[in-house]
Structure formats: structure tokens, C-alpha cells
Amino acid sequence: MKNKLLKTVMFLALATIAIANVNAQTITVKGKITDANDGTAISYCAVSVEGTANITYSDNDGNYSISVGKGKILVFAFLGYETQKIKAEKEIINVALIPESAELEESIITTFPQSRKSVVSDALYITENKSINLAQRFVLQEENTEEYNSVSENRFKSADDNPLSTFSIDVDVASYSNMRRFINQGQTPPRDAVRTEELINYFSYNYSKPTGNDPVKISAEVGECPWNVKHRLVRIGIKAKEMSDENLPASNLVFLIDVSGSMEGANRLGLVKSSLKLLINNLRERDRVAIVVYAGSAGEVLPSTSGNDKQKIREALDKLSAGGSTAGGAGIKLAYKIAQKNFIKNGNNRIILCTDGDFNVGVSSVKELENLIENERKSGVFLTVLGYGMGNYKDNKMQTLAEKGNGNHAYIDNLQEANKVLVSEFGGTIYTVAKDVKLQIEFNPEHVQAYRLIGYESRLLKDEDFNDDTKDAGEMGAGHNVTAFYEIVPAGIEFTGAGSIDPLKYQKTDKKKSKPEYTGSKELLTVKLRYKDPDGNTSRKIELPVIDNKTNSVSSDFRFASAVAMLGQLLINSEFKGDSNYEKVISIAKTALDNDEHGYRREFVRLAETLKGMTE
């Protein structure tokens, strides 16, 4: 009798464990969210797990993906539609939301998802004449404490008085994905969040590859300026040599992860973990990874580990949780110390910092971070900065770290962007082929009356910095390309934009000697570039003269990049935007969708169309 009872108890216990295991099984549910009436995709629909802080949002095409315990309840909620609750019992769940039947009058609607501390509500206006698109008006985010550096747009300069233009290259692309995040939330991005050069450099272009000893090559193209047909537009392109992942040198990586309270949530620390797991899949046996975290203090949670031991690295990531204050400075110092301890000679030594930039303990101001990173970069360790989060994102601090720390900066708004940065463009993100890359353009005043550089406002250098090897500049990774546009005012046409000044009262100028004699050259300009090897201290120079054939037979890459530049000028409301408008951006971009393997150009067109709808 006792044995029978014991067997029964054991059977019930095992059955309970089995049921618990089934209930605890985690699955990834994917699907598309549409309008039940017309089948159109619903973007930025909230998808959450009932009773938890696990939340995600549908993308531009209405697609979503969320990890959930099997059998848990998924909640689909969007303003103007009836909320649906569906049990997560299969991996594909498509949802057709039913519009609310009640007529809405002018009102303010506020929603509080469980994962957000505070919400900025937006007014929904519906009148007899116009119904404003709900996806455009509905704004759901934390109380906004984001910080951006102020941008003062480049102006036209006289080629006679200022024949040289000098700046550091910029391979960062954070501004583009950050802009996308705002648009997907139904907002236009703040003016200072838009860095036009980063919008342009988000895309790949078919530039000629380096073939000689130099790891970079210059290209140039001249055509009609699409927003001012009287002007010319010069596109300067730089292509870095490509390397297959197998041929990349051994990597000594330190994942420096912000686990402070501000990083709590699926689209913050949760997205960091998912992002780095994508990178881990690319690691080889000769690569090594250490993990450093920081909140109120900093610590090493995984010593340097072989890239072959992927499961150990994943498990270390899975154990991370968020909470506490943000001692970012201490984390940076410890990460550099560990990177130097495991330094690989002739290898790729790099810190990958994942944070929202909200440093608030110890070294925390922009100036303090600048001083810290300028000192640490002397170690030969490079820095990649990956930005996460929304509502409290400190873009200004992220820019400082990337610009001063021999690094690059990307903003990760979703897992697709993480895949682009850490998988598709792995070599460019992780491995530097040329550092301190500077450009200096000399304009021929015989053909150029005035010019202006589009973007790169935070990267401007003094003319004498070009030949000064002590001056820091940008880095280029394997396969990277960089694009810069100059708007040119040809000599001989009426133009007052470069400005003028009254004659000096206390000085006399000999007008006969006030301008140099022209050489008669047919060249429009000369592009000069300086770079150093990743472990070198002495720069090398290459040059490319450019002649304008006065035609408009430009490449599709030229047309697409000019459309992106035009969009950037519209977003900052540039005083030089001329005839720019969203319709022109869209129409030009649509003529240049041939180099679009991953669909990034088509996504740009959709974003421009959304902006057009938001501003009409």
C-alpha cells in the first residue's frame, strides 16, 4: 500500500513538473498587425505580455516579434482600435484590429503601458474637414530628457577669401536610425538630432575600391544641384578596402554594458543582449570577449573568453539585469584596463559600449568624458559606441565618446538595425583600416564663386590641422564608405549669400593686390586626404583633382544621396534648402533604388512619405 501511494505521489510530482516546464517554455511569437476593415498595416502598435513589463512595437510594415512564455496572454493595443488579447500558443499570430466605433471629438488621450514610468500625451484632433492620421499623432514615450549638441549650419564661403575647406571624416550613422525612431513614433525629430552627413552615410554606394597600397580611395562626381538648379553639387566619396570576416585579425573585445536603472526594459538592456548575441555568432576561436558592466559601480562579470565558447558568453549576458545609478566613467576606465591586459599585438583591440549615455555618477559631464576618453585612446584600443533607449537618450555624450575615442557611433532602435551594424557591416564596425582620416578641399576661384559643406558641422578643422599629425580625426573600418557634398556657386552668376562687409575705416587695401592671380587651370577643385595606419603615427597624403564637365549625367548613387541630403535640410529647416520639398525627395529617391539589396533605400522612401503626410 505504501509503495502504491509513493508511486502515485511521484507520478503527480513528475506531472506537475512537466506541466510547469510546458508553461515555462519561452517561444518567439511573430506576426503582422493590420486594420480589420481595409487590411492596411498598423505601425507602432504596442504588443505586450499581460502582467509584465515586456513590451515591443510593430514596425513600418506592421510586423512585430516578441519573446513570451507559451500560454501567456499577449495584449495588442493601439489608439483608435479595440484592444485584443490573445493566448500565445503558436509562433505565428497575425492580428486584425477592429477600429473603435465611437466617434471621437477633440480630446487628449493618454495611455500608460506597464513598462513606462511617465507618458507624454498628445492631442487627437478630428474635425468635420480633416481626420488626422492616428499613427502620426499618437506619441508614446517617457518624459523626454534627451540631450543633443546644438548644430549651427555651415554657411557659404567665398572661394577667393577661403579657398580651403578642412574637416574630419565621419562614419557614424546614429542620426539616421534615431530619426527613424522619431518618425515611427509619429514625430519629426528635433532639429539638433539631425546630422545630415550621418543620414547620407547610412547607405552604401558603389565607389571604386582601393587597388594600391593605400587602404582608402577618393572618388568625385559633379552634377546639377536639385534644390537650386543654378548651382552645382559636388559629391566626394571615400571607399575603404574590404576584408572578409575570415581574414580579419584576431579580436580582443570588451563588451562594456550599462546596467543602470535607466536601461531597464525590452528595448534597452533586453535589446542590448539580443544585439550582442548576433555579434557573438561571428566570433572565431582566435577572438576573445570580456564583459564589464556598470551601474552604481563597475565590475567584470566575464573574464576574457575564447570566441569559441559562445554559450558561456551568452549565459553571462542572460544573467544581466538593470538597476541603480550610472557610473559610466568608472566603467570606461575598467574596460580600457581589461582591454590593455588582454591586448593582442597587430590585432583588433576594441571596446563595445552599450548605453543610453545617461551618466550621473563620477565622471559624467561632456567635458569630463572628453578628457577621460582622449587620455584612454592613447592605449591603442578603439571604441564602438552603441546607443539604446528613448526618452532619456543622451546623444551629446555618445557623440563625444565616439569622436574623441577613435571610434564610431550607431543608434540601435530595433534588432534589424543591430543586425545591420553587427552582422552585415561587421568588418566596418569592428575593424579599423585607417585612422585620423582628414579631408581638405582646395577650390579654384576662377570657377567657384562660393561653396558650402553640407553637414559635418561638428567635424570642422582648421586649415593648418590638415598637415598636423597630432590632431585627431575620424576612423574608417573595413569596407566603409564616406560621402561629403559641397554646393557650389559657379563664378559669374549673381550671388550674395557669401556675405560682404563694409570697407575698413582704419586700413587701406591695395585692390590690385587684394586677389591672387589665377593659374588658368580647368580644375574645379582638388580633394586632398590624409590618413594613418591603425597603429601608426605618421600620416600619408593622397590627392584627386576634379573637373566639372557642366553636364548632369550623374549616377543613381549621386541622385539617391542628394535626395537624402535634401531631406536632412528639410528636417533642420535649412535657410539654404531652396526648392526642396518632400515630394521632390521622394521622386528623386525612387529613380535610384537599384543598389538596394537589403531594402534600406525603399525604407527611406517610406519614411519620407510618412514625413510628407505628417507635415501636410
Amino acid 72 reads K
pLDDT of residue 359: 76
Residue 255 has pLDDT above 80, yes or no: yes
- What are the cell numbers at 45? 502598435
Residues ≥6 apart with Cβ < 8 Å to 610: 60, 136, 183
Fold type of domain 157-243+434-496+517-615: Immunoglobulin-like (2.60.40)
Residue 452 clears pLDDT 90, i.e. is over it: yes
- What are the extents of the domains in the chain? 22-137, 157-243+434-496+517-615, 248-427
Q: Is the pLDDT of residue 546 over 90?
A: yes
- The region of weakest confidence among 101-105, 186-190, 385-389, 401-405 is 101-105
CATH superfamily of 22-137: Carboxypeptidase-like, regulatory domain (2.60.40.1120)
User: Which candidate, 266, 312, 7, places its Cα nearest to that of 113?
Assistant: 266
Question: 204, 190 in Cβ contact below 8 A?
Answer: no
Pull the grid cell for residue 80: 483608435
Measured CA to CA, the distance from residue 446 to residue 443 in angstroms comes to 9
Q: Per-residue pLDDT for 252 more than 90?
A: yes
Residue 550 has pLDDT above 70, yes or no: yes
pLDDT tens digits, 494-539 = 887 655 667 778 877 665 555 678 888 999 999 999 999 998 999 9
**Side-chain half-sphere CA neighbours of 466 within 13 A:** 19
Which cell numbers in the block locate residue 429? 564596425
Phi-psi region of 203 (alpha: psi -120 to 50; beta: other; left: phi over 0): beta
CA distance 136 to 348: 44
- Per the CB < 8 A criterion, the answer to whether 480 and 428 are in contact is yes
In this prediction, residues 292-310 reach a mean pLDDT of 91
Q: Among the listed ranges 138-152, 273-287, 545-559, 575-589, which one has the minimum average pLDDT value?
A: 138-152
CA pair distance 483, 456, nearest whole angstrom: 11
pLDDT at 121 over 70: no
The answer to which of 21-35, 389-403, 532-546 has the lowest mean pLDDT is 21-35
Q: Is the dihedral of CA 505, 506, 508, 509 positive or negative?
A: negative
Helices (H), 54-118: none
* Mean pLDDT over each residue of the chain, to the nearest integer: 84
Q: Do 248-427 and 22-137 fall under one CATH topology?
A: no
pLDDT band at 127 (very low <50, low <70, confident <90, very high): very low
Q: What is the pLDDT of residue 109?
A: 32
Which of the two residues, 129 and 326, has the higher pLDDT score?
Answer: 326
> What is the C-alpha separation between 353 and 339, in angstroms, rounded?
13
Judge whether residue 75 has pLDDT over 70.
yes
Element (H, E) at 435: strand 432-443
Domain boundaries 248-427, corresponding CATH code: 3.40.50.410
Q: What local confidence, expressed as pLDDT, does residue 535 receive?
A: 87
Give the separation between CA 408 and CA 385, rounded to whole angstroms.
Answer: 6
pTM of the model: 0.76
| pLDDT value at 54 more than 80 | no
The confidence score (pLDDT) of residue 134 equals 38
CA 547 to chain centre: 33
**What local confidence, expressed as pLDDT, does residue 245 receive?**
77
479: left (phi over 0), alpha (psi -120 to 50) or beta: left
Sign of CA dihedral 571, 138, 78, 616: negative
Let me know the angle formed at the C-alpha of 19 by 17 and 25, rounded to the nearest 5 degrees. Answer: 100
- Please give the residue that has the higher pLDDT: either 126 or 163: 163
Residue 325 pLDDT greater than 80, yes or no: no
Largest Cα span, the chain: 120
Residue 37 pLDDT greater than 80, yes or no: yes
Cβ–Cβ under 8 Å, residues 428 and 410: no
Q: What is the pLDDT of residues 134-192, one digit of tens each?
A: 333 343 444 578 889 888 999 999 999 999 999 999 889 999 999 999 998 889 999 99
Residue 108, pLDDT score: 32
Q: Tell me which of 117 and 231 has the higher pLDDT.
A: 231
